[in-house]
Amino acid sequence: MYDLMRKLPIGIQTFEDIRRKNYLYVDKTALVWRMANMGKPYFLSRPRRFGKSLLLSTFESYFLGKKELLEYPVLHIDLNAEKYDKPEKLNEILSNHLTQWELKYGKGIDERTLSSRFGGVIRRACEQTGQQVVVLVDEYDKPLLQAINNLELLDDYRQTLKAFYGVLKSADRYLRFVFLTGVTKFSQVSVFSDLNQLNDISMKPPYATVCGITRQELVDTFTPELKNLSEANQLTFEETLQKMAATYDGYHFCEFAEGVFNPFSVLNSFDGCKFDSYWFQTGTPTFLVELLQKSEYDLRTLLSGIEVPVSSFAEYKMDVNNPIPLIYQSGYLTIKDYDREFQNYLLDFPNDEVRYGFMNFLVPFYTPMKNNDQGFYIGKFIQELRTGDYEAFLTRLEAFFAGIPYELNDQTERHYQVIFYLVFKLMGQFTEAEVRSSRGRADAVVKTPKYIYVFEFKLNGTAEEALKQIDEKGYLIPYKTDHREIVKAGVEFSAESWNLSRWLVEINQ
């Protein structure tokens, strides 16, 4: 094993700590210098735990004189720490910040509202120091996200933040630099309506890698850690890089820019010397699943990649019954391709950590499987197909559907199509499996070392018709030259019982 004494900054969000205590870090200071000297008001949207807080801390160190002889007054607002479940919670945390600054710069006797106090602090800080003020806001939208399903509370927070952030425009002559970060950019909650001069760099190519780790940065900075990881998992160095890329890479924040690795998962994989779902486990996307269910969004489209117009990225509109922009901005989907002619983006899961983490999280909402038995079911399905025991697989699948409780059974065809999608997509984590919904392709194909299974499911049709469709549509043609045994299965699915009712299987040598 290689040197394990190098310090990984897991959970460290203060740039000064990283530098003074000799933690490893990927140097982004060139981009920090560029932004600090080429503009003033910035906004950056990135998923949680992607380095936004550390980026703001780097700006703070820069403007406090850690890099220059000139020291600016810095007002740093962190909205991460509070649980926003009551109107007064937001008022309290903003007031607490203001009180600390007022102890240093004073308070006007007529400043009673949060916004007037904020404006007064900015003006006095500039006048007393002789330097323009730096304002850094970390997770500006945290209160809005926590209140997303409470419209009354959301409106209250919207009005408070609209007035508070609006001060940054009226106080422009006192400001040297402004940087706001968050997960989303909300529209029609009017938070930014008074702050319309913000430079939103969330999807601009020069800043696409300001948070996250590029492949080259990974190799240049963490080669000893990569070697430790490869030895611990009995992989070659190149195999480790490929596994890291498949598991943690793939985030694209601009259609023209290089992809990046999730920094939180990368550091934790080095620390634990294993591949795991580190980022996904730090937060549960319950509110996103609830939005999907409320909007009756077809999950099959989401799970196979979805094409959306460029307008989906400009902002998240609360009054539109479409959860996709928020799912993208939260980091569960990312840009995978771009159609220049029609200006449409292809969104998909960035990597295996998010893909299988998200699907596993969805399962209890749509099937009888609980979190603790998903692995059992999927494992049994795969074992049976690997050994050629297709009868056991189909029987288990029948028992699986029979176990769906009434409250999960909404008696719609789409619901059961989604369940098929989830089951086969989850099998893809361990074997080559794909499931389709478009015409002209088999419903599902599973490839194991010895067998290729081609499934066709018929709702209120016959198993004979399903087999005939496999032959007539040429579903087997792509596998004719394959050395493996081809198994085709025609399955009847009854709308009365909402279950498999009969199946026929034929083997093609």
CA-CA-CA-CA dihedral for 258, 263, 267, 268, to nearest 10: -120
Q: Same domain for 416 and 348? A: no
How far apart CA 410 and CA 293 sit, in angstroms, is 12
Question: What is the model's pLDDT at position 289?
Answer: 81
Give per-residue pLDDT as tens, 104-146: 999 998 999 999 999 999 999 999 999 999 999 999 989 988 8
Question: What is the model's pLDDT at position 421?
Answer: 82
pLDDT-derived band at 409, boundaries 50, 70, 90: very low
The Cα diameter of the chain in Å comes to 89
Reply yes or no on whether the pLDDT at 89 is more than 70: yes
pLDDT-derived band at 69, boundaries 50, 70, 90: very low
Q: What is the CATH number of the domain that holds 109?
A: 3.40.50
The last residue of one of the domains, among 167, 190, 207, is: 207
Q: Same domain for 178 and 304? A: no
CB 191 within 8 A of CB 318: no
Q: Same domain for 340 and 379? A: no
Give per-residue pLDDT as tens, 207-264: 999 999 999 999 999 999 999 999 999 999 999 999 999 999 999 999 888 999 999 9
Hey, which residues does 316 pair with through a beta bridge?
Answer: 186
- 94 SS3 class: helix
- Could you tell me if residue 226 is inside a domain? no
Q: Same domain for 94 and 202? A: yes
Give per-residue pLDDT as tens, 167-211: 999 999 999 999 999 988 765 446 776 677 789 899 999 999 999
Reply yes or no on whether the pLDDT at 275 is more than 80: yes
Lowest mean pLDDT segment, chosen from 93-97, 171-175, 371-375, 377-381: 371-375
- Could you tell me if residue 330 is inside a domain? yes
- Could you tell me if residue 305 is inside a domain? yes
How far apart CA 412 and CA 423 sit, in angstroms, is 18
Q: What whole-number percentage of the chain has pLDDT above 70?
A: 90
Q: What whole-number percentage of the chain has pLDDT above 90?
A: 55
41-45 and 175-182 strand pairing? parallel
CB 229 within 8 A of CB 218: no
Mean pLDDT (the chain) is: 87
Q: Same domain for 317 and 427? A: no
Q: Same domain for 307 and 346? A: yes
Q: Same domain for 325 and 179? A: no
Q: Same domain for 296 and 406? A: no
The last residue of one of the domains, among 207, 230, 246, is: 207
Compare 207 and 508 and report the one with higher pLDDT: 207
- Could you tell me if residue 223 is inside a domain? no
Boundaries of domain holding 342: 286-352
- Could you tell me if residue 157 is inside a domain? yes
Reply yes or no on whether the pLDDT at 284 is more than 90: no
How far apart CA 195 and CA 72 sit, in angstroms, is 22
Q: What is the CATH number of the domain that holds 402?
A: 3.40.1350
Reply yes or no on whether the pLDDT at 438 is more than 60: no
The last residue of one of the domains, among 165, 185, 207, is: 207
Lowest mean pLDDT segment, chosen from 86-90, 193-197, 455-459: 193-197
pTM, whole model, 2 decimals?
A: 0.86
- Could you tell me if residue 232 is inside a domain? no
Reply yes or no on whether the pLDDT at 446 is more than 50: yes
Q: Same domain for 382 and 502? A: yes
- Could you tell me if residue 233 is inside a domain? no
Provide the number of structural domains found in the chain. 3
Alpha helices per DSSP H over 27-113? 29-38, 52-61, 87-105
Q: Same domain for 171 and 65? A: yes
Reply yes or no on whether the pLDDT at 313 is more than 80: no
Q: Same domain for 56 and 187? A: yes
Q: Same domain for 199 and 318? A: no
Alpha-carbon separation of residue 269 from 1, 198, 273, 280 (angstroms)? 15, 36, 5, 13
pLDDT-derived band at 35, boundaries 50, 70, 90: very high
- Could you tell me if residue 360 is inside a domain? no
Reply yes or no on whether the pLDDT at 372 is more than 60: no
